[in-house]
Amino acid sequence: GAVVSQHPSWVICKSGTSVKIECRSLDFQATTMFWYRQFPKQSLMLMATSNEGSKATYEQGVEKDKFLINHASLTLSTLTVTSAHPEDSSFYICSARDLASSYNEQFFGPGTRLTVL
Amino acid sequence: AQRVTQPEKLLSVFKGAPVELKCNYSYSGSPELFWYVQYSRQRLQLLLRHISRESIKGFTADLNKGETSFHLKKPFAQEEDSAMYYCALSGQGGNKLVFGAGTILRVKS
């Protein structure tokens, strides 16, 4: 149980285009999902907290107009990287909290490798 | 402010040797602490949560509030334990996890 999927697993795009990444909780409901960036051999950096039915909460220094988050249902959150540039190339990981769990643990997706040319 | 410190970037041990991955935290309330593991080319997965006081794959971790530590231990390391280990903290009533920088564990044969 508690499986989180991400799509796509990797994407290559041209500079200036937008890319959408989906995060789904497959066997549980998640009112809260999280989006992280991970640079090679580094820890996860929280970008934003995605709340079902309301606006996302962004961490300091993360541009909300650049990284659009939509959490339209209890099992789906999307991250759209708008007008992507090479510096946006990274590994993006989502996670989700199980609505039914009393713990604050998060279940992680496999990540999406974004390369912007 | 919430902070998690993992002082070692890399810990290299021989198979069968004891392992201790250090984690110290800074938080004024009562935290929830976790250890996550990331094996090569795999997703991050939960290894332990302090509330459960469990042993998973031979690993244990005890929350020491006096020393604000949550070190991960295993008496006899195995090669398949080689991975990146992250200590993480969640504050009271909070959703967010704050991660440490991670420690690479390499178990040599």
- pLDDT for B94: 65
Whether B84 and B37 have beta carbons less than 8 Å apart is answered as: yes
Chain B CB within 8 Å of residue A11 CB? no
Chain A CB within 8 Å of residue B35 CB? no
Chain B CB within 8 Å of residue A110 CB? yes
- The type of residue at B70 is F
The two three-digit tokens of residue B63, written as one number: 């929350």
Task: Answer whether A104 sits within 8 Å of B102, measured CB to CB.
Answer: no
- The type of residue at A84 is A
- pLDDT for A14: 96
Torsion of the alpha carbons at B47, A50, A53 and A80, rounded to the nearest 10: -130
Task: Answer whether B43 sits within 8 Å of A106, measured CB to CB.
Answer: no
Candidates A43, A104, A107; nearest CB to B95: A104
CA distance B74 to chain A (A): 22
- Residues of chain A with C-beta less than 8 angstroms from the C-beta of B49: 103, 105
User: Percent of chain A beyond pLDDT 70?
Assistant: 99
Of residues A103, A104, A98, the one with CA closest to residue A74: A98
According to DSSP H, which parts of B4-85 are helical? Answer: none
- pLDDT for B107: 98
The two three-digit tokens of residue B34, written as one number: 């976790």
Across B9-15, average pLDDT = 97
Task: Answer whether A108 sits within 8 Å of B45, measured CB to CB.
Answer: yes
Chain B CB within 8 Å of residue A42 CB? yes
Q: Which of residues 71-100 of B touch A (CB under 8 A)?
A: 86, 90, 94-100
What is the phi/psi pair of residue A88, to 5°? -85, -10
- Residues of chain A with C-beta less than 8 angstroms from the C-beta of B36: 108
Mean of all residue pLDDT scores within chain A:
92
| Angle at alpha carbon of residue B28, lines to B104 and B6, rounded to 5° | 10
Chain B CB within 8 Å of residue A97 CB? yes
With a cut of 70, say whether residue A62 has pLDDT above it. Answer: yes
Return d(Cα A104, Cα B101) in angstroms, integer: 20
Task: Answer whether B97 sits within 8 Å of A108, measured CB to CB.
Answer: no
Task: Answer whether A44 sits within 8 Å of B34, measured CB to CB.
Answer: no
Least confident stretch, A5-19, A59-73, A74-88, B41-55: B41-55
Question: In terms of CA atoms, which chain B residue is nearest residue A4?
Answer: B43
